[in-house]
Every structure is written in structure tokens, then in C-alpha cells.
């Protein structure tokens, strides 16, 4: 298990209390789970994602990640329509473990509410929350 | 309540293990990867800290009779297909039941002498099982001693297990000679009759048993709890060149489920111990439904109407999360799911389940993993029955099976696994 000091928390994404991240990418936002989340879950052996065109509100469950032992829900950091899913995860779900912010991305969404992104936690706020979880 | 720790606790946390509570103990769930640990036991070997398990000694002239009354298996008729009596150096699986036939715990009983038995039960269960034996022991000249917390235990499981121990033991040829499945040698206190028969090169006396909880070839090692760290490190060092890795409870759980073995208090528990896939734990006379001896709980089991417990396999590796319901094909709720995990070493190929170690597996077979476990249903079901498992999120299709992970190595003859690795 990683110490908090070892958890990778990039500056170019924003975070949720459920350990998802969102990153602006042109007109859309990319979404995935944090390094802290993948470390807690352990080996990810299956990722269940929605279909392109599905619409979600902020906080909706959009899929699951499955480890050898457990199944965990994934929640939308912001509302929007799915415009792309990471198809590489079908054959290589372990990308979520090895590269949670890059090759292990999950969804790309188009949102009508870009302001929702600004309300997510920045690195410092998320790190403070993780420190709180450790106590 | 603070959690209990095994003597290896500091080793686990110092080596990055993800820890979790099990049976009151803070135990490693996995180190780097539960999946790799599961696969290592199939391909090479895995090394497990099992010092959380409890040991109860039962001795005295009435020890056999006390166990005959309290333990489900018949110690006078349990060895091999001919049901020979248990003898010193051999062990047998069974359970302790209450008068309702419900499970208090399951156990392996090791016969040390004709008047002394070592009873190995689950984590935290030493006081309960010892108390149960004392409660029913009034009429028997037997002494019950709970050794919980005083015994160090680790399991070395996988096809390389014997070769690893060969490098660790002082006289491996002698130890491994005539050591079939469910036999043991040595001892971990000088009060044990075979103490000194198994000693490591570093001088640690062991009780070495050809048993385990993975379905794969291997051993359980019992030592004085103060010597378990030295033993652990010696075995890891000897195991590394053979591909052995330390394994946590996640891999232990997925391996045992794939091997069709129950987890006490989950797959067996406070319901009648009958109509399950472990009839070998009950004293049936061969070919009959009659018991070969009277025992506590037997009347409740006679004419047992269920519930019925069956192993299942899913279509892919997707699981349900407990609590989960069992539905028949018409969507009617017929029971509940006891265990649901992924065995990462198996997969379907043309209507048949193979393991990554199946000798006749298809070329390039990679397993991929299948969901598996046990369901408990009200009425009997035929083999291959299709069922749906339903949790709050999803429904998955599964099938009742006779067995889960094929081609397991637990019973493979020792000599075949002491040779240099083929392939």
C-alpha cells in the first residue's frame, strides 16, 4: 500500500470525494479514478463502462471497477454526455493500476456545465481530504 | 477493540502489504498484486502467514472418545477409500457441530499419538472450540489446551513447494519419504512425540504437514511462535529463485474458492451441516446415507432437508457483491450467495473450463478469470442448472458445477514435484 507521500496527485486534474478525477481536454473532459483509489482497490481485473451517448448527472454511478475481491462503483464528477470510452480497458484493465491519469482514463464527456469543474477539489484540497481519511 | 497481530505483522507492514481485519487479526490482504499472488501459487509457489489460525490440543486416554463425540469425521474410519482408522502422523478434515447440527467451526484433526490430537481451527476460534470440547468433555478422561497465540504457522503452497523446502530442511530426503496428502511429521514443542523429526538447517523444529487451503500441492508449517519470523525469511529467501512470493488473504480466498473449499462462518455456519459439497467431512458408511458413529448434531442431520449448497461458475470474471440473491431462470428468488470471487487462473474454452495449468489446455490459453463460489438454495438443483445471481447493481449468469478449478495439484505424488521443473 502506498504512503500518502507516494500517491501520485497531478496538478492538471481536479478531484472528487469519491476519488475520481476530471481533466479538461479541449471542449470535453476526461474522467478516471485517482492513484489513491487504484491503490486501495488493488488489481483491477474488469472495468464496466457506459455506452457512448449515455447521459449522466453529477454524482450518478456510471460504471464499476472490479478487483479480484470486490466490485466498486464509479461516480460522475460532473454531469454530461459520454462522447468516448477507453476501449483499451476491455483487454487491459490493469492500465487503471499502472497509469490511472493517462492510459487508464475511462470516459470523455461533453458537459453543458463547465463551471462544475471549478467546484471540484484541486490537488491541495484532495490531499487534505486524504490526510483526513488516514486519521 | 484493538486488532490482534501475528508475529509477522511488522514484516507485512514493512513490505507494503495492504492490511485488513480477518478473524480479529490485522492481516495482509495482498502485497503488490492479489492476481499475481493467486497465479504464483498455480505456477510456482506462494507463502502465506497463517499464524492467525488457532491450535487446540486434546490429550488423555479419553481424547479419541471426546473427539468421536464432538467431531464430524469418524477417527476410526476416515483414511482413504476403504475408510481405515486414523493413525499417528495422519490428519483428517471435519467440523464441530452443536446439537442442532449447526457449524461451530471446521477443523483439521492431526493424530500425534493414539492419545494426543492437535486440532487446527480458524482465526479467533481457539477459545470457542476449546470451550465446546470442555463443555462436552465431562465424561471423558481428556485434557483440552488452547494454544491460541502460541503457535507460529505459515503455508507454502504451489508446485515448487517441495523444492523450496528441500533447500530449507536439514534432512529433506528423510522428511519427504512416504509423505502422502494429509500426512505430517515432526513437532513444534518437545512434548510432541515426533519433535525433532523435522528441523530446518537453521535449527528450527517444525511440524510439517502436507495440507493447505489452496487446492494446490504444498505444506503447512507449524513452529514455536517466536521462531516464525526466522522461518518465514528463510523460506522466502529459498523460494525467490523458484518464483515464490508472499501472498495475502485475498489470494488465499480466491484460491480456496476455486478449489471448492468452504470458508467457515461464510460457506458453512449456523445452519445444518448437510447437503453440501463436502460429504467427506461426515462419517457416511460408503455408499449409504448412514453414519458410522453417533456424534453431537447427528440426529439433526439425519433426514436433513437442506438448505442445499452448490459450487457455481460464471460466464466471465464479473462478480456480484454480497449480500446477493440467487434467482432461477424464471426470476424467482431461491436462495443466497455465500461466496463470490474471481479465480484468475481459469477460463472457458469451447464449453469446458481449463486452468492455466491444465495439461491439455489449448495452445495460448491465458485463463482470463472466472467468477466462482458457492450458493445456498432451498431445494435441490441438478448439475449444470443455470442460475442468475443478483446484487443491488447487476445480474450475472452462472451455472451449478461439480467442481471449479480443474487439474489441481494438491494430491500429486511428492516425487513428481521434486524433479527439476519440466517445460
| Among A43, A46, A48, beta carbon nearest to B33 | A43
Contacts of A91 in chain B (CB under 8 A): none
- The residue among B251, B316, B321 with the most chain A CBs within 10 A of its CB, best to mutate, is B321
Give the SS3 label for residue B78. Answer: coil
CATH architecture for residues A20-117: Beta Barrel (2.40)
Give the dihedral of Cα atoms A82, A86, A90, A91; nearest 10 deg. Answer: 170
pTM of the model as a whole: 0.94
Other beta carbons within 10 angstroms of residue B280's beta carbon come to: 12
The better pLDDT of the pair B305, B133 is held by: B133
Residue A66 to residue B342, Cβ atoms within 8 A: yes
> Which residue of chain A comes nearest to B319, CA vs CA?
A71
Tell me the Ramachandran region of residue B60: left when phi exceeds 0, alpha when psi lies from -120 to 50, beta otherwise. Answer: left
> Which residue of chain B comes nearest to A48, CA vs CA?
B318
Residue A46 to residue B16, Cβ atoms within 8 A: no
> Which residue of chain A comes nearest to B31, CA vs CA?
A1
Q: What's the CA gap between B196 and B204, in Å, rounded? A: 9
For chain B, list residues whose CB is within 8 angstroms of any CB belonging to chain A.
Answer: 16-19, 29-30, 33-36, 38, 250-251, 253-254, 316-321, 341-342, 344, 369, 393-394
CATH architecture for residues B54-146: 2-Layer Sandwich (3.30)
DSSP B166: H
ipTM of the complex: 0.85
| Min Cα separation A68/chain B (Å) | 5
> Which residue of chain B comes nearest to A68, CA vs CA?
B342
**What would the mean pLDDT of B407-419 be, rounded to a whole number?**
92
Which range (A125-134, B323-332, B346-355, B374-383) has the least confidence?
A125-134
Tell me how far CA of residue B150 lies from CA of A124, B84, B386, in angstroms. Answer: 47, 32, 47
- The residue among A42, A49, A69 with the most chain B CBs within 10 A of its CB, best to mutate, is A69
Look at residue B372 in the predicted model and tell me its pLDDT: 98
pLDDT in tens, B62-79: 999 999 999 999 999 999
Look at residue B1 in the predicted model and tell me its pLDDT: 63
Return the closest-CA partner of residue B65 out of B114, B125, B121, B18: B114
- Predicted confidence band of residue B423 (pLDDT cuts 50, 70, 90): very low
pLDDT in tens, A11-37: 999 999 999 999 999 999 999 999 999
Give the dihedral of Cα atoms B17, B22, B25, B27; nearest 10 deg. Answer: -10
> Which residue of chain A comes nearest to B19, CA vs CA?
A1
DSSP B288: S
> Which residue of chain A comes nearest to B316, CA vs CA?
A46
**What would the mean pLDDT of B134-140 be, rounded to a whole number?**
95
Helix residue spans in chain A (DSSP H): 35-41, 88-91, 95-98, 115-118, 123-134
**What would the mean pLDDT of B392-419 be, rounded to a whole number?**
94
Contacts of B35 in chain A (CB under 8 A): 43, 45, 68
Residue B369 to residue A45, Cβ atoms within 8 A: yes
pLDDT in tens, B334-393: 999 999 999 999 999 999 999 999 999 999 898 999 999 999 999 999 999 999 999 998
pLDDT in tens, A1-14: 788 889 999 999 99
- The residue among B28, B35, B393 with the most chain A CBs within 10 A of its CB, best to mutate, is B35
- Predicted confidence band of residue B303 (pLDDT cuts 50, 70, 90): confident
- Predicted confidence band of residue B420 (pLDDT cuts 50, 70, 90): low
Average pLDDT, chain A: 94
**What would the mean pLDDT of B303-316 be, rounded to a whole number?**
94
CB burial class (10 A; 0-12, 13-18, 19+) of residue B198? buried
Q: Is the pLDDT of residue A115 over 80?
A: yes
Look at residue B422 in the predicted model and tell me its pLDDT: 46
Q: Is the pLDDT of residue B225 over 50?
A: yes
Domain ranges of chain B: 9-51+150-257, 54-146, 307-408
- The residue among A46, A68, A73, A93 with the most chain B CBs within 10 A of its CB, best to mutate, is A68
| Min Cα separation B18/chain A (Å) | 5
- Predicted confidence band of residue A56 (pLDDT cuts 50, 70, 90): very high
Q: Burial code of B201-217, b = ≥16 C-beta within 10 A, e = fewer?
A: eeebbbbbbbbbbbbbb
Asked if the B307-408 domain carries CATH number 2.40.30.110, the reply is: yes
Return the closest-CA partner of residue A120 out of A12, A11, A15: A15
Fold of B9-51+150-257: Gyrase A; domain 2 (3.30.1360)
- Predicted confidence band of residue B19 (pLDDT cuts 50, 70, 90): very high
**What would the mean pLDDT of B225-251 be, rounded to a whole number?**
97
Amino acid at each position: 500500500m502506498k504512503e500518502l507521500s507516494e500517491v501520485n496527485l497531478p496538478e492538471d486534474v481536479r478531484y472528487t470525494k469519491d476519488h475520481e478525477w476530471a481533466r479538461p481536454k479541449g471542449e470535453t473532459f476526461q474522467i478516471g479514478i485517482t492513484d489513491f483509489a487504484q491503490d486501495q482497490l488493488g488489481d483491477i481485473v474488469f472495468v464496466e463502462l457506459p455506452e457512448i451517448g449515455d447521459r449522466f448527472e453529477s454524482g450518478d454511478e456510471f460504471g464499476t471497477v472490479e478487483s479480484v475481491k470486490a466490485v466498486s462503483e464509479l461516480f460522475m464528477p460532473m454531469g454530461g454526455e459520454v462522447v468516448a470510452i477507453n476501449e483499451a480497458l476491455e483487454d487491459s484493465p490493469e492500465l487503471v493500476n499502472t497509469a490511472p491519469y493517462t492510459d487508464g482514463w475511462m470516459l470523455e464527456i461533453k458537459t453543458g456545465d463547465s463551471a462544475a469543474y471549478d467546484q471540484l477539489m484541486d490537488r491541495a484540497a484532495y490531499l487534505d481530504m486524504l490526510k483526513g481519511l488516514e486519521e | 477493540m484493538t486488532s490482534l497481530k501475528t508475529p509477522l505483522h511488522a514484516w507485512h507492514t514493512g513490505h507494503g502489504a495492504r492490511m485488513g481485519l480477518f478473524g480479529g487479526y490485522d492481516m495482509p490482504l495482498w502485497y503488490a498484486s492479489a492476481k499475481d499472488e493467486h497465479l504464483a501459487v498455480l505456477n510456482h509457489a506462494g507463502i502465506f502467514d497463517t499464524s492467525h489460525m488457532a491450535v487446540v490440543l486434546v490429550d488423555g486416554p479419553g481424547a479419541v472418545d471426546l473427539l468421536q463425540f464432538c467431531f464430524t469425521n469418524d477417527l476410526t474410519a476416515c483414511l482413504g477409500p476403504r475408510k481405515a482408522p486414523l493413525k499417528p502422523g495422519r490428519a483428517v478434515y471435519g467440523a464441530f457441530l452443536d446439537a442442532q447440527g449447526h457449524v461451530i467451526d471446521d477443523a483439521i484433526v492431526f493424530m500425534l499419538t493414539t492419545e494426543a490430537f492437535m486440532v487446527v481451527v480458524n482465526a479467533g476460534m481457539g477459545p470457542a472450540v476449546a470451550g465446546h470440547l470442555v463443555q462436552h468433555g465431562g465424561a471423558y478422561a481428556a485434557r483440552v489446551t488452547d494454544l491460541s497465540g502460541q503457535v507460529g504457522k505459515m503455508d507454502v503452497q504451489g508446485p515448487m513447494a517441495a523444492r523450496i523446502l528441500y533447500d530449507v530442511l536439514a534432512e529433506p530426503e528423510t522428511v519427504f519419504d512416504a509423505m502422502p496428502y494429509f500426512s505430517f511429521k515432526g513437532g513444534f514443542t518437545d512434548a510432541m512425540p515426533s519433535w525433532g523429526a523435522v528441523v530446518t538447517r537453521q535449527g528450527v523444529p517444525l511440524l510439517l504437514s502436507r495440507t493447505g487451503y489452496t487446492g494446490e500441492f504444498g505444506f503447512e508449517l507449524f513452529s514455536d511462535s517466536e521462531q516464525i519470523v526466522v522461518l518465514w525469511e528463510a523460506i522466502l529467501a529459498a523460494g525467490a529463485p523458484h518464483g515464490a512470493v508472499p501472498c495475502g488473504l485475498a489470494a488465499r480466498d480466491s484460491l480456496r474458492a476455486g478449489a471448492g473449499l468452504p470458508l467457515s462462518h461464510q460457506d458453512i455456519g449456523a445452519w445444518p451441516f448437510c447437503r453440501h459439497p463436502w460429504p467427506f467431512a461426515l462419517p457416511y458408511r460408503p455408499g449409504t446415507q448412514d453414519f458410522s458413529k453417533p456424534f453431537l448434531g447427528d440426529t439433526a442431520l439425519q433426514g436433513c432437508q437442506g438448505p442445499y449448497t452448490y459450487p457455481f461458475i460464471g460466464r466471465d470474471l464479473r462478480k456480484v457483491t454480497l449480500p446477493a440473491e440467487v434467482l432461477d431462470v424464471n426470476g424467482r428468488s431461491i436462495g443466497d450467495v455465500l461466496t463470490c470471487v474471481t479465480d484468475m487462473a481459469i477460463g472457458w474454452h469451447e464449453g469446458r473450463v481449463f486452468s492455466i495449468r491444465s495439461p491439455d489446455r489449448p495452445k495460448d490459453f491465458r485463463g482470463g478469470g472466472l467468477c466462482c463460489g458457492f450458493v445456498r438454495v432451498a431445494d435441490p438443483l441438478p448439475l449444470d442448472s443455470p442460475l442468475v445471481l443478483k446484487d443491488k447493481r447487476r445480474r450475472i449468469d452462472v451455472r451449478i458445477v461439480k467442481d471449479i478449478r480443474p487439474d489441481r495439484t494438491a494430491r500429486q505424488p511428492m516425487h513428481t514435484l521434486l524433479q527439476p521443473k519440466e517445460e
